[in-house]
Amino acid sequence: MELPRRTTLSAPTPLLLSHPLRSSLNDEAHARPPAAIPSPARLSTLALLCEPGAPGQRAALARLAAELGLPAPEASAGHYQGSNGTLTLRWSLHTEFVRLTVIVPGAGGGGFDDTALDAVPAALLSALPGEVLVAAHALLLADGDALPDAPRAIAARWFAGHELIGAELGDGNGVAYTDLRLHPDARLAVGFSRFVLVDRRMGPRQSGRMLQRLFEIETYRMLALLALPLAKQQMARLDELGIALKAVTARLNAADSRDDTLLEEFSALSAELENLVAQTQYRFSASHAYYQLIERRIGELRERRIGGLQPFCEFVEHRLAPAMDTCLTVTRRQDRLTARLQRATALLRTRVEVAGEVQNRALLASMDRRAGLQLRLQETVEGLSVGVLTYYAVGLVGYAAKAAKAAGLHLNAELVTGAAIAPVALAVWWGMRQVRRRLGHA
């Protein structure tokens, strides 16, 4: 009986060649996914400014995960989420900042005296690298909880009586309240913003998405506003540069102005203006990008107005838009000053070129005069040369006549010498003219 042959299974040969970045680009669609958060829950988030490359951030995350009994994060991960049954830790690395969010199930005491950060030892929080730009606490409450109905009661209970910002979210499936003020924290010496989100019919996933959007709006709002102090600082300096440029430009038509002095002043103004542009270019561009992200996140909230409250879109339009307009104004002023400086420098350059052309024309005229003088001098020298060459040639003729007379020929040497002067002079003049003509055609 013949036994069946064994077959060796091998990996199939791919018929299509994949791009080396295909997997990583596909995973970008699932980067930093929102957490599913059942209500009730408490959340705390920190946005820490960090240097490019985030030195020490991943090491701090690894220490934090180890101390809290969470799974170890990947060495090069840009996003992390771990849970130990008591809390959930979320960490994400961005261009300029690191976001750390702690989620603890349950409403605690129903207020902000009990926060999610209470589950993290203070020593671990103080060891986090970076500067705190955004710190926020949030309460996710179920709709069945005993909640105040009037905005004043909500403000008095959770927001120290401040004016509220709020709206229905997700087409009425939830309600969010905040005052966007910094409230003192009983445990940490850092002010925290506060958010209250009521889950009517959102469910865990939509609640997680809405909370993430609210945190992102607050983070991007603060990051966008980083450019405002810089814009205010530069406005005064741009005024001074504009006045200085006007004064230097007015001296272009002054009779006693020196081009080299004006050029030095224009160069100094240009260098300082370029320095100002270099200081603000990245920050202004980043603020504009963050502002666009804020508008996109607010659109994703799908707000409905609550009577007597300012919604998030209106607050951003009234408070953040003027700050962004200020930054845009400074950028435009920088561009206008740069254009004015370029035009003034071009005008001075044209003036220098015209003056140089005048000098060149004067130099060429002087060279023409010198060439005429040299020509006349050359003609004089040529006349003298004809006389000199004729003298020596006639002398040679005289010596030849004397030699012939001494040889026995009956010649009058003086008469032959005198008769040779005219033809010899004519021959020398004609020969020199032919040479000069050949040189002129060469």
Give me the residue label for tokens 């707000």: 303
Q: What whole-number distance in Å separates Cα of residue 320 and Cα of residue 221?
A: 8
pLDDT in tens, 358-370: 778 888 888 888 8
What pLDDT is recorded for position 212?
94
Q: What whole-number distance in Å separates Cα of residue 390 and Cα of residue 371?
A: 28
Assign 3-class secondary structure to 415-434. HHHHHHHHHHHHHHHHHHHH
What pLDDT is recorded for position 432?
75
- List, in order, residues 6 or more apart from 157 with CB less than 8 Å away: 111, 148
DSSP 386: H
Q: What whole-number distance in Å separates Cα of residue 410 and Cα of residue 423?
A: 22
pLDDT in tens, 118-127: 999 988 888 8
What pLDDT is recorded for position 353?
73
Q: CB–CB of 208/241 below 8 Å? A: no
pLDDT in tens, 65-102: 999 999 998 887 788 999 998 999 999 988 899 999 99
Question: Whose CA is closest to 99, among 61, 73, 66?
Answer: 61
Q: Is the pLDDT of residue 434 over 70?
A: yes
Secondary structure of residue 170 in the 3-state scheme: coil
Q: What is the mean pLDDT of residues 234-246?
A: 89
- List, in order, residues 6 or more apart from 6 with CB less than 8 Å away: none
Q: Is the pLDDT of residue 383 over 70?
A: no
Confidence of residue 330 (pLDDT cuts 50, 70, 90): very high
- Determine which of 7-16, 72-81, 248-257, 329-338 has the lowest per-residue pLDDT on average: 7-16
- Determine which of 214-228, 231-245, 248-262 has the lowest per-residue pLDDT on average: 248-262
Residue 150, token pair as written in the block: 């009037």
Confidence of residue 1 (pLDDT cuts 50, 70, 90): very low
For residue 96, which amino acid is it? E
What pLDDT is recorded for position 4?
52
What pLDDT is recorded for position 41?
94
Residues 48, 138, 184, 133, Cα dihedral to 10°: 20
What pLDDT is recorded for position 317?
85
Question: Whose CA is closest to 202, among 166, 178, 177, 169?
Answer: 169
What pLDDT is recorded for position 2?
52
What pLDDT is recorded for position 360?
80
Q: Is 11 exposed, middle or buried (0-12, 13-18, 19+ CB in 10 A)?
A: exposed
Q: What whole-number distance in Å separates Cα of residue 418 and Cα of residue 405?
A: 16
Confidence of residue 11 (pLDDT cuts 50, 70, 90): low
Q: Is the pLDDT of residue 390 over 50?
A: yes
pLDDT in tens, 343-353: 888 877 777 77
Q: Is the pLDDT of residue 296 over 70?
A: yes
Q: Which residue has the higher pLDDT, 379 or 155?
A: 155
- Beta strand 131-142 with 165-169 is unpaired
> Nearest 5 degrees, angle CA 151-CA 156-CA 157?
100
Q: Which residue has the higher pLDDT, 228 or 350?
A: 228
Q: What whole-number distance in Å separates Cα of residue 412 and Cα of residue 402?
A: 8
Residues 178, 182, 184, 190, Cα dihedral to 10°: 130
- Determine which of 31-35, 56-60, 63-67 has the lowest per-residue pLDDT on average: 31-35
What pLDDT is recorded for position 117?
93
Q: Is the pLDDT of residue 146 over 70?
A: no
pTM of the model: 0.76
Q: Which residue has the higher pLDDT, 259 or 426?
A: 426
Q: Is 46 exposed, middle or buried (0-12, 13-18, 19+ CB in 10 A)?
A: buried
Q: What is the DSSP string of 106-160?
A: S-TTSSSSS-GGGGS-HHHHHT--SEEEEEEEEEEEETTS----SHHHHHHHHST
Q: CB–CB of 88/102 below 8 Å? A: yes
Q: Strands, DSSP E only, in 277-399? A: 304-305
- List, in order, residues 6 or more apart from 195 with CB less than 8 Å away: 136, 137, 138, 139, 176, 177, 178, 211, 214, 215
**Strand pairing partners for 46?**
100, 135
Percent of the chain with pLDDT over 70: 90
Q: Is the pLDDT of residue 387 over 70?
A: yes
